[in-house]
Amino acid sequence: MKKDSPQMQQEQDRKTAEATAAADTAYDALSASPSRTLLGDAWHRLRKNRLAIVAIIWIIVMVIAAVTADLWVPQRFGDPITINTQTLTADRLLPPQLAHPFGTDDLGRDVFARVVYGARFSLAVGLIATAISIVIGLVLGALGGYYGGFTDTLIMRTADVFFAFPYTLFAIALVAVLGPGFINVFIAIGVLGWPSIARVFRSSIFSVKSQDYVQAARALGASDIRIMSRHIMPNSVAPIIVYGTMSIGGAILTEAALSFLGMGIQPPTPSWGYMINASTKFMTTAPWLMLWPGFAILTTVLSFVLLGDGLRDALDVKMKD
Amino acid sequence: MLKYIGRRILQMIPVFIGVTVLLFLMTAVVPGDPVKMITGEREISPAVYNQIRAEYGFDKPLIVQYGMYLNRLAHGDLGQSLMRGRPVKDMLLDKFPYTMQLALAAIIIEIIFGIGAGMISAVKRYSFADVLVTLSTSILVSLPVFWLGTLLQMFFGIYLKEWTNGAFYLPMSGAGGPGAPFPHWVYLILPAITLASVSTAYAARIMRSQLLEVMGQDYIRTATAKGLSASAVLWRHTVKNAMIPVITFIGIDFGAMMSGAILTETVFNWPGVGNEIYNAVVRRDWPVVMGGVVIIVVVVMIINLLVDISYAFFDPRIRYGGGEEA
Amino acid sequence: MATDLLVVEDLKMYFHTRDGVVKAVDGVSYTLNKGETIGVVGESGSGKSVTAMTMMRLIPMPPGKVEGGDVRFNGESLLTLPEDKMRAIRGNRIAMIFQDPMTSLNPVYRVGHQLAEPLMLHKNLSKAEAWKRATELLEMVGIPHPESRVKDYPHQFSGGMRQRVMIAMALACDPDILIADEPTTALDVTIQAQILELMQELQQRTGSAIIMITHDLGVVADMADRILVMYAGKAVEYGTVDEVFYSPSHPYTWGLIDSLPRHDMTEKGELCPIKGQPPSLIQVPSGCSFHPRCPYAKDRCRTEIPASRTIDGSHVAACHFAGDPGFTRTEMACAGVNVG
């Protein structure tokens, strides 16, 4: 190539432009005012999302109601759990009214009280089971993502095996094997959720790992753990937050399905899924019985879904389903 | 492309093995006496007890048990029902066509309404229709399938009947048969809608986001710059590209649909595999439960493999692999 | 002069966004005739691409809105044409090729199909005829083995090849005007030269006019008959290629030319980019939009928007002092920002 040919000049043009841009960016960075942190930025964006705010408020209301239930429910509405065979027939299957805002069930128990108590269990499952999934998923995803190679293949193949099972079906099978009862529900749902989390986290790690600033850190002699905690984790956390939030909704739905089939928490302790099942017998005589637990599930899960959507927009996470 | 198919099948094999291992572990490593899983709570003589122990190899190491399990699976032996005494396989295979009918009907609904809603919502972005679709998909996704089923039953089976004095309503349960008030397919309507609901919502969301993503691509701009009309650009270029991930989603969703089938069939008393599984759970007839799980998992895996392979047909980048030439 | 092929007259197009009004195109004028090439030069964000997209009516309106001026093609105003008539022009009489060949072709259709599409649409060719012509077009742009390549998919072509395909697609219907939006920016240097050569060759053969949009002065030096220099949405200098290169009259043009590394520089010589950044088009500087970066800026430049001053015939520049005797390059634009 001749030294002064057009190609050479164009090449140099580009290099000049790049050099200028890089210098300017560095200059701006040094002299710029301190920007908001990632979380601060995200919170600011989230606040603008009205649906997400409503969702957060509703979740907080429910959590408070559920946690403090023992303090105010039985006093006003009677015992939602124990079966009192002496309840008057007149008090059974009452339609919604002032004393019983959701009516009473076939055993005379106040439905509103039962719904609130059902919330305790559903929310607990949602949060705890998802927490279990996240812990397992993070650990395995981290191992696979960071070390790659055989570890990674092994973990991913195992995840594939889990993925081959339809989720709810797997839950049913697990609970069938472990036996009904609430601890087993926690375990079953918790154990099933890890592959998705692991996958999301792992792909986060892979994309971050290849970024230049990680190479730079390594070149500066940073240890593996340091790189993980300082560079990889903060950047990979966003998708986990979003996915985790949405998983809570999924966990609650799965628990409801298990309870509906009679495999969840056993009566007389109330659970929303079971309440729906029990109410089908009274479809014609007391149709409202079916509505309340269903709405409870719907609004709870919807809140987590909307919150998850909002978080995804706020944290600007691009996730491929 | 054959390489792609071959690779896919090869990848399937370890997963398949893993699945059988998992299934085996679930039946073998149960808390309590494994013999009870086979015989239930009945009283049995020590002779029968020992016979079963030997037959299933409960005293042998796990690996051997696994081998025997695989052997039984290969021969289609899914055990005996505790209550009925019949081979599980026969019981379930009878019901299988009903579940497939339901799934097929649901998928058709999913394709028409899911893709349609997704398209309307993406093309008329920010319009009332878009907001409506976005809100209703969010709600559908949060809705427990079985609750929707019971609501539909109540409305179409009971209230509609009342309001029209018995003139117009939909059946709430069963699958019809000789002497039934409706032909068989009418019984399919409500269960299929119920089963399709959640999947349709997801399909609509994915279609919408895929369409929006494709619409922002450079080659769509090129198509418009060539003088194509807006509808030509939409149908010939945008939709064709956006469909690929959506079709694969529908295929993958088939598995979730099978789970949903259990709940739907239970609510509507539809005589499929799902219903059998539920009844078995209630009666604690574990062999039937596990047998049903095995059948469903195998079908799902086959469908997933077919979907994976079909992906190659839709995306020419995979079909004609081939990197770049200078 | 008999009706010019294309006349752009004081075109203004703003984007109305939530964050403010973006004055993307703010008074651009030029003429183009058969067989001519005009080079539209400017930095990223100068509005050079948006001007072309506005002409083709490819800008979504809202948020875009034409605020003034006109674009006349063979005497007919393009901006007020009904959409179906505009569609008949796009890809047919006026064609466009875009910057990134890797993403500008639809991955699920064969190349032959994409070439045949405009032919079947505008020229009413049958599918067989269109595909035959597609093969001829591939040969015209220098793709070896066109008969078999025409059935291939875009991902089976390299970047340079894809750009050739884009050119073939644009020229399929023998357009009067070819708009090339940074056609070589995404390509390797050696391929760039090939593509430009190809374009010139084709222009000779077909006689179409070319609007070459680029940030690279080197590209236009060879190809263009006239040059339009744009800055912050406005046209700052316009003239024949000789006039602009040998008698540049606007400080921005001086800065552009100065920033080219010279072949007679010694190793220790410094590169001389124009200091500062192009302005945000929402908050355009008052008066002359270049004044914050201009070493010659005076008070007047901050307050008064410069009109287009005639230097010589059709050579114009939008600077208060352009053409004044004695107003010549004395300072390098990199030597210091005149905050004035």
Minimum CA–CA partner of C44 in chain A:
A17
- CB contacts of A172 in chain B (<8 Å) are 259, 262, 277, 281, 289, 293
Distance CA(A239)–CA(A318), nearest Å, equals 8
* Average per-residue pLDDT for chain B: 83
Which of C91, C107, C158 comes nearest B226 by C-beta? C91
For residue A208, pLDDT beyond 80 = no
Cβ atoms < 10 Å from Cβ of C263:
12
Residue type, A38: L
Minimum CA–CA partner of A254 in chain B:
B144
* Lowest-pLDDT range of A92-106, B130-144, C272-286: A92-106
Percentage of residues in chain A with pLDDT exceeding 90? 12
Here the tokens at position C91 are: 């890809």
Region A96-113: what's the mean pLDDT?
Answer: 76
At residue B302, the pLDDT reads: 87
| Residue C209, strand partner residues | C177
Torsion sign over Cα B48, B49, B50, B56: positive
- Return the closest-CA partner of residue B259 out of C170, A170, C126: A170
Distance CA(C267)–CA(C259), nearest Å, equals 16
Distance CA(B191)–CA(B157), nearest Å, equals 12
Are C28 and C51 within 8 A, CB to CB? yes
Which of C87, C107, C156 comes nearest B324 by C-beta? C156
Distance CA(B103)–CA(B105), nearest Å, equals 5
Q: Tell me the whole-structure pTM to 2 decimals.
A: 0.80
At residue B157, the pLDDT reads: 82
Task: Establish if A276 touches chain B: CB-CB under 8 angstroms.
Answer: yes
For residue B245, pLDDT beyond 70 = yes
Are C132 and C83 within 8 A, CB to CB? no
Which of A3, A9, A20 comes nearest C218 by C-beta? A9
Helix (H, G, I), strand (E, B) or coil at A49: coil
Q: How big is the CA angle at A225 (ends A222 and A230), to the nearest 5 degrees?
A: 75
At residue C179, the pLDDT reads: 94
* Residue labelled with tokens 């009192």: A84
- CB contacts of C215 in chain A (<8 Å) are 17
At residue A29, the pLDDT reads: 45
Distance CA(B266)–CA(B248), nearest Å, equals 28
What is the C-alpha R_g of chain B? 24
Minimum CA–CA partner of B284 in chain A:
A176
Higher pLDDT residue, B87 or C225?
C225
For residue A140, pLDDT beyond 70 = yes
What's the number of CA atoms in the CB half-sphere (13 Å) around residue C29? 12
pLDDT digits (tens, 9 = 90+) for C102-113: 899 999 899 999
Task: Establish if A75 touches chain C: CB-CB under 8 angstroms.
Answer: no
Here the tokens at position A113 are: 């009280």
- The nearest CA of chain B is from the CA of A99 a distance in Å of 26
Pairs across A and B, CB distance < 8 A: 136
Helix axes B88-109, B286-314, angle to 10 degrees: 40
Task: Find residues 227-266 of chain B whose CB sits inside 8 Å of chain C.
Answer: 227-229, 237, 240-241, 244
Task: Find residues 166-185 of chain A whose CB sits inside 8 Å of chain B.
Answer: 166-169, 172-174, 176-179
Task: Find residues 20-49 of chain B whose CB sits inside 8 Å of chain A.
Answer: 21-22, 26-27, 30-31
| Residue C229, strand partner residues | C41, C237
Which of C88, C108, C158 comes nearest B324 by C-beta? C158
Distance CA(C167)–CA(C125), nearest Å, equals 20
* Residue labelled with tokens 């986290």: A201
Residues 6+ apart with CB under 8 A from C164: C138, C141, C142, C143, C195, C198
Task: Establish if B81 touches chain C: CB-CB under 8 angstroms.
Answer: no
Residue type, B190: L
Is A6 within 8 Å of C218 when comparing Cβ atoms?
yes
- CB contacts of B325 in chain C (<8 Å) are 156-158, 161
Are B261 and B272 within 8 A, CB to CB? yes
What is the C-alpha R_g of chain A? 27
| Residue C227, strand partner residues | C39, C239
Distance CA(A217)–CA(A71), nearest Å, equals 54
Task: Establish if A302 touches chain B: CB-CB under 8 angstroms.
Answer: yes
For residue A28, pLDDT beyond 50 = no
Region C93-105: what's the mean pLDDT?
Answer: 91
- The nearest CA of chain C is from the CA of B225 a distance in Å of 6
Minimum CA–CA partner of C271 in chain A:
A16
- The nearest CA of chain A is from the CA of B229 a distance in Å of 30
| Residue C38, strand partner residues | C211, C226
Percentage of residues in chain A with pLDDT exceeding 70? 74
Distance CA(A143)–CA(A230), nearest Å, equals 16
Minimum CA–CA partner of A11 in chain C:
C189
Higher pLDDT residue, A120 or B49?
A120
Here the tokens at position A7 are: 């190609």
- DSSP structural state of residue C274: P
At residue C315, φ and ψ (nearest 5 deg) are: -80, 115
pLDDT band at B324 (very low <50, low <70, confident <90, very high): very low
Region A171-197: what's the mean pLDDT?
Answer: 84
* Residue labelled with tokens 């479809």: A283
Here the tokens at position B67 are: 């081998």
Residue type, B16: F
Cβ atoms < 10 Å from Cβ of C156:
20
Cβ atoms < 10 Å from Cβ of B86:
11
Are C263 and A3 within 8 A, CB to CB? yes
Is B144 within 8 Å of A165 when comparing Cβ atoms?
no
Distance CA(C148)–CA(C133), nearest Å, equals 14
pLDDT digits (tens, 9 = 90+) for C21-42: 898 999 899 999 999 999 999 8
Distance CA(A207)–CA(C139), nearest Å, equals 41
Task: Find residues 141-170 of chain A whose CB sits inside 8 Å of chain B.
Answer: 157-158, 160-162, 164-169
ipTM of the complex: 0.83
| Residue C41, strand partner residues | C214, C229
Are C236 and C30 within 8 A, CB to CB? no
Which of C90, C92, C103 comes nearest B217 by C-beta? C103
* Average per-residue pLDDT for chain C: 87
Which of C260, C263, C277 comes nearest A13 by C-beta? C260
At residue C138, the pLDDT reads: 93
Distance CA(A144)–CA(A236), nearest Å, equals 14
Residue type, C224: A
